[in-house]
Amino acid sequence: MLKMASIGTKIQLNKVESEICSLVKEFCSQYNALHASEEPLTARITGGWVRDKLLGNESNDLDIAVNSMTGEQFAEKLCEFLNERGLQTHSLNTINKNPSKSKHLETCTTKLLGVPVDFVNLRSEEYTMESRIPKVEFGTPYEDAMRRDATLNAMFYNITEDKIEDFTEKGIRDLNDGILRTPLPPKKTFIDDPLRVLRLIRFASRFNFKIEEQTYQAMKDKDIHVSFNQKISKSRIYTELHKTFTSENPFYALDLIQGANMSSVIFSSSTTSPKIETVYASLDSHLKQLVDHIPNLLSNHELFARLFPEFQEPLILSLVLCGFKGLTGPDPAKPKNQIPLAGVIVKEGINYPNAQVNNVITCVESEDIYHQLIANAETMQRSELGFALIKFGEPWKMVHFYNMCLEYLRNGIESTSRFDHFYKLVHDRDLADVYSLKHIVNGKELAKLLNKKPGVWMSKTMDDVLKWQLNNPDKSKQYFIENINSIIELP
């Protein structure tokens, strides 16, 4: 867990933040003077900004919640106030409620002094068992704080009074101790909105914090798992996993997922069979193996550690799903077509974009071919090796380290030496970027040089051109043109 010096209870505003808060405070004072009989208007900065500022970090996540009007009403009146003082304002953009995308409340966005700001009203939420979409009403600061995912995300900065407000009475202490806990009883918090399970895991991974024991135990509850599958849209799962698996500590997140018995819940598929269920039954223990070993490999393999950030997310997903190699399921986009099941899970279960789906499929289904490639590489012509790497495309390095990880998991660090030898061989033969190699002549040029009309003959002949290039890397285009009749054999 992250060790921190004791945090204070005073926000240190930067210059722009100070100017924004001064303007908002001045507006609230004027408004309250003109509406003395009404509840005083108070503006509070909420959530992640408060947490980050108390940790000594800058934050661009500026959300302002108000107590007695909607965010849109507040923003309109604030902009009128600024215009009266000759200050430039930007257009307002109101984002309507969209529960399917977790927008449960109308939000108004604009820029103040060049900084994006969201305005909302304080709210309370009431959930049903069937949906993670709550009934939302105006709420008190206490109600707004208690509905949030974690105490350390539930603190407010009261702009009017220039102070931190910790209505859960645990936020500052938990932030100081590096503890993630829910403001309300954890089972209720997670049943209401199971996405909070992933959010807390993401925050634990991001800050290297510990999840409080009762909160973590609640994550293991079967009712939470059922609620997770019933309530959460796949796009929201993707958002949380993407942020988690691109963080600096993704294996801590995997450890928390498997410890909460959430592996088969998160990486789910509607396709089932006895073989598939066998893989799912051991998925938590497989993640534990990844957590226990892959960070050690990263610590002891300088090249892998250096390149890891380039393909971190698809590599992690591929390692998680490696047990599904050889299994298939219907393509979510074209159900009549079968694709590797790892791709179905990434596409259907957690809504990753097609580029990452293809990366995962390439890795998971590569093992047999790649091991054969390594075994035969020494005796292969440069063109043979080049064509083999071209089939993997740009992700070949990811495929390489994916298979090295599997080898390490099964046989230890000594077994990875042949992967290092192969990687060096590829670079010694100047084939590391072969996937981007262009033909020395294009199809139109080739047809003209050979005095032939384009046709079915061109595909194989263009492959022959590329084969010649790979075996003759020192030869020029001019040399090829001058000797084309002896180089190319037409079918």
Q: What pLDDT was estimated at residue 129? A: 55
> Who has greater pLDDT, 139 or 434?
434
pLDDT tens figures, 337-389? 999 999 999 999 999 999 999 999 999 999 999 999 999 999 999 999 999 99
Which CATH code fits 185-266?
A: 1.10.110.30
DSSP code, position 42: -
Q: What pLDDT was estimated at residue 6? A: 56
Name which of 45, 46, 44, 41 is nearest 28 in CA terms.
41
Q: Give the residue-averaged pLDDT of 474-485.
A: 94
Q: What pLDDT was estimated at residue 220? A: 97
> Who has greater pLDDT, 454 or 180?
180
Which of 315-319, 447-451, 459-463 is the most confident on average? Answer: 315-319
Q: Is the pLDDT of residue 274 over 50?
A: yes
Cα–Cα dist 63/383, whole Å:
57
List of residues 6+ apart from 451 with CB closer than 8 A: none
Task: Dump strand ranges (E) for 320-439.
Answer: 328-330, 338-340
Q: What pLDDT was estimated at residue 3? A: 43
At which residue do the structure tokens 């088969």 appear?
264
Q: What pLDDT was estimated at residue 132? A: 52
Cα 426–chain centre separation: 31
Question: Residue 392, exposed/middle/buried by CB under 10 A (0-12, 13-18, 19+)?
Answer: buried
Q: Give the residue-averaged pLDDT of 427-452.
A: 94
Q: Give the residue-averaged pLDDT of 212-220.
A: 98
Q: What pLDDT was estimated at residue 130? A: 56
Q: Give the residue-averaged pLDDT of 309-329.
A: 98
DSSP code, position 474: T
Q: Give the residue-averaged pLDDT of 81-102.
A: 76
Q: What pLDDT was estimated at residue 55? A: 93
Task: Tell if the pTM clears 0.95, that is, is over it.
Answer: no
Q: Is the pLDDT of residue 101 over 50?
A: no
Q: Give the residue-averaged pLDDT of 234-251.
A: 95
At which residue do the structure tokens 């960070």 appear?
295
* pLDDT mean across residues, the chain: 92
Which of 9-13, 94-98, 431-435 is the most confident on average? Answer: 431-435
DSSP code, position 379: G
> Who has greater pLDDT, 11 or 294?
294
Phi-psi region of 451 (alpha: psi -120 to 50; beta: other; left: phi over 0): left
Alpha-carbon distances of 321 from 74, 77, 316, 365, 428, rounded to whole Å: 48, 53, 9, 11, 32
Alpha-carbon distances of 247 from 61, 181, 203, 312, rounded to whole Å: 18, 21, 10, 9
Sketch the domain layout of the chain as residue ranges.
1-182, 185-266, 319-436, 443-487
pLDDT tens figures, 105-156? 678 999 999 999 999 999 887 765 555 566 677 889 999 999 999 999 999 9
Q: How confident is the model at residue 192 (pLDDT cuts 50, 70, 90)?
A: confident
Beta strand 328-330 with 338-340 is antiparallel
At which residue do the structure tokens 């304002």 appear?
89
Q: What pLDDT was estimated at residue 226? A: 92
Phi-psi region of 90 (alpha: psi -120 to 50; beta: other; left: phi over 0): beta
pLDDT tens figures, 391-413? 999 999 999 999 999 999 999 99
Q: Is the pLDDT of residue 5 over 60?
A: no
Q: Is the pLDDT of residue 197 over 60?
A: yes
pLDDT tens figures, 347-361? 999 999 999 999 999
**Angle of CA points 359, 363, 364, to nearest 5°:** 115
Q: What pLDDT was estimated at residue 379? A: 96
Q: How many CA atoms lie within 13 A of 148 on its CB side?
A: 25
Q: What pLDDT was estimated at residue 88? A: 86
Q: What pLDDT was estimated at residue 127? A: 63
Architecture of domain 1-182: 2-Layer Sandwich (3.30)
> Who has greater pLDDT, 33 or 5?
33
Q: What pLDDT was estimated at residue 105? A: 61
